[in-house]
Amino acid sequence: MKNFTLFVFTMAVVAATFSSCDILDPNEHGQLVPKTVDEDPSLPSISVNGTMLHAETFGNPNNPMIVVLHGGPGGDYRGMLKCSKFSEDGFFVVFYDQRGSGLSKRHSKDTYYSEKIFIDDLDAVIKYYRRPGQKVILMGLSWGAMLATGYVNSYPSEISGVVMMEPGGFIWRDAEAFIARQRSVDVMAENINDLLYLDQIITSSDHILLDYKMGLMGASENSEGNKLGNAGPTPTWRSGAVVNAAAFDIVRRRPFDFTTNLSQYRTKVLFAYGELDVAYGKAHAELVSSAYPNVQLVEIKGCGHEIPYEGFDTIYPIAKAYLDTIK
Amino acid sequence: MKTKLIATLIALMAVSQAALSQNVNWKSLRQDQHNLLQLNVGYDYGFTTQLGYARTITMLRPAMVGLDFSIPMGNDLLDDFKVRLGGQIEVLEFNGFSVTVRIASVFRKYQSSLVSVVGFGSDFAIVTGYYAPTWSIGGEFGFDKAITTRFKHSAQMKAKFPDIKDGWYVPTGGHYYYGVQGGKTLGETLDLNLRIGATSAQFHDQNAMIPYYLQLGLGARF
């Protein structure tokens, strides 16, 4: 009798709890993550190379163009918006969320056949905005800097300058080593829970829940004691979980090498790394940057991996001086 | 719609009221031993420590009810944890070969700088193996479902996405799990247990980052 009473009481509590709440569908658009450009026509976008990209520009379209490339794959450009300041210095600054990232249109995993699709998309973006004779400079963070180099490796004569901030590596072996150091963890640490414990609560094959979960898991990158030297969270809109997973699948099947043609690129490039990123460090910066024949290597003091956000005030004058030599 | 969901949830949790999560060697349980206390460590979506208690109940077949509480490692001990309340019953036995059905209600909590999560779910498994008085070995196959989960987002998350909706989301996830388990008695009252296996996300969902589990435990019968 006592057991039955307890059972009924428990069920009553459960019923009261849920009857007072709205039950939400996790696959409904716009509830857990923002809508993408194909779901929300009010967002600025361009249609290129069979996709729809969240994109915006700053400055005079006739000025030398800087194309800003975010990290990931699967990040977005929200944390790089301080770079729009270069539009005040006589540059036309173009931002876009890469395919399947940020607020750009999502695609199925089998869309990503090789890293070439990212290079092709970048080529399409450049062609979309470029005016005849206009100089183009690529400015990338992390994976974005790797993408920039992949583009330069394919089209060295098209690019007038490159600003790179902590590219993981231009050969998969080097990038893999950086990722391994970045992810080396104390298994007893709290941020491990942030990363792993969520897996039992959220599973999905849908972009919405996968992107939401990736965004939550990303909190561990900025938690106390993180190896990247990040002081805290960087503004983002939405993670691209599928493109991130696809990119790693691609590289495991066929490791990339973006250096095969780099010796032809004699233009000076600016290569920056953060003082506080212990996973990166000077040795890795020297190793990775050595693929370019002409490099200006700088350490950004007091900053970790997120140089365009946390270290912008420091890198801005350095980058401006470099960019002015290209104008 | 909401009424049907509430009714389904209550039914699932009602079914789960009579099951348990501890490893049990029915053959090693003496007539005067009605209680089982277990301490387990291992990997269960995190490096975890688990404490469980179960008690035998009188039914047509050997059965136990109980609960266990597990926490992952970390500085903040109670921001993440899991509680399972349920039981298990040996439905078939023949010359030491045994089939046990195990069902549990699951309550989970997860907290980070971005979100506070609580969730209800259920865990159903079948364990089959050979059980001798001093040792056992078997295999298990189960399904762990996160049925309904409340997400309450922090100010930091809402600054990132102001329109994000707090609330109860149904459903949010599930994993199949399968593995082997074994045990060895130590003296009259202690058992050493080991469970090891793999997980697979439901349907075509993306698998867990580390799709394996491991549990090493010490049990006391009294």
pLDDT tens digits along A82-137: 999 999 999 999 999 999 999 999 999 999 989 999 999 999 999 999 999 999 99
Query: Which residues in chain B touch residue A30, judged by CB atoms under 8 angstroms apart?
Result: 163
Residue-level pLDDT at A19 = 47
CB contact under 8 A, B161 and A33: yes
Residue B7 has pLDDT above 80, yes or no: no
Section B190-200 average pLDDT: 96
Name the least confident of A84-88, A195-199, B194-198. Answer: A195-199
Whether B12 shows a pLDDT value over 60: the answer reads no
Query: Per the omega criterion (within 30 degrees of 0), is the bond before B171 cis?
Result: yes
Q: Shortest Cα distance from B188 to chain A (angstroms)?
A: 31
Average pLDDT, chain A: 92
Nearest of B193, B208, B82, B31 to residue A217 by alpha carbon: B208
Mean pLDDT throughout B157-168? 96
Q: What is the pLDDT of residue B77?
A: 78
Residue B39: the pLDDT is: 96
**What is the pLDDT, as a whole number, of residue A37?**
98
pLDDT of amino acid B59? 82
ipTM of the complex: 0.87
Q: Which residue has the tokens 């428990």?
A: A10
- Structure tokens belonging to residue B55: 């008690």
Whether A203 and B72 lie within 8 Å, measured CB to CB = no
Report the C-alpha gap between B204 and A206 in whole angstroms. 10
pLDDT of residue A185: 66
Share of chain A above pLDDT 70, in %: 92
DSSP code of B205? P
Q: Do A202 and B173 touch (CB under 8 A)?
A: yes
Between chains, do B2 and A233 touch, taking CB under 8 Å as contact? no
* Region A39-45 average pLDDT: 97
Q: Which two tokens stand for residue A240?
A: 């691209």
Residue B22: the pLDDT is: 56
> What is the residue type of A57?
T
pTM of the model: 0.90
Average pLDDT, stretch A11-27? Answer: 62
Q: Which residue of A has its CA nearest to B18?
A: A7
Segment A62-89 shows an average pLDDT of: 98
From A203, which residue of chain B is nearest by alpha-carbon distance? B173
pLDDT at A12 over 60: no
Question: What are B176's strand-pairing partners?
Answer: B143, B200
Looking at per-residue confidence, does A220 or B52 come out higher?
B52
Chain A residues within 8 A of B120 when measuring between CB atoms: 14
Q: What is the pLDDT of residue A226?
A: 83
Distance CA A175, CA A188 (A): 26
A194: closest CA of chain B, how far (Å): 6
Q: What is the mean pLDDT of chain B?
A: 88
pLDDT score of B13: 41
E strands, B32-114, are 35-43, 47-57, 63-72, 81-94, 97-111
What number is the average pLDDT over the span A287-294? 97
Spatial contact of A117 and A253, defined as CB atoms under 8 Å apart: no
Tell whether the model's pLDDT for residue A16 goes beyond 50: no
The size of chain B, in residues, is: 222
| Percent of chain B residues topping a pLDDT of 90 | 76
Cα–Cα distance, A173 to A183 (Å, whole number): 15
Segment B142-158 shows an average pLDDT of: 95
Nearest Cα of chain B lies from the Cα of A214 at a distance, in angstroms, of 11
For residue B78, which of B55, B50, B100, B111 has the smallest C-alpha distance?
A: B111
Dist CA A193 CA A268 (whole Å): 43
HSE-up (13 A, CA, CB side) for residue B128: 8
Residue B11 has pLDDT above 70, yes or no: no
Cα–Cα distance between B150 and A24 in angstroms, integer?
A: 9
Contacting residues of B for A215, CB less than 8 Å apart: 114
Say how far apart CA A298 and CA A321 lie, in whole Å.
Answer: 13
Domains delineated in chain A: 45-183+242-326 (3.40.50.1820)
Chain B, nearest residue to A210 by Cα = B206
Would you say residue B186 has pLDDT above 90? yes
Fold for B2-221, please state it: Lipocalin (2.40.128)
Residues of B in contact with A244 (CB under 8 A): none
Mean pLDDT of the B41-62 span = 91
Work out the burial of residue A127: count CB atoms within 10 Å of its CB; fewer than 13 is exposed, 13-18 middle, 19 or more buried. Answer: exposed
Residues of chain B contacting residue A223, judged by C-beta atoms under 8 Å apart: 113
Per-residue pLDDT band at B87 (split at 50, 70, 90): very high
Determine the pLDDT at residue A224. 75
Separation between Cα atoms, residue A241 and residue A109, nearest integer Å? 10
Query: Residue B16's pLDDT band (boundaries 50, 70, 90)?
Result: very low
Domain ranges in chain B are 2-221
The model's confidence at residue B33, banded by pLDDT at 50, 70 and 90, is confident
Output the pLDDT for position A18. 47
The predicted model gives A174-198 an average pLDDT of 83
- A87 vs A65: CA distance, rounded Å: 9
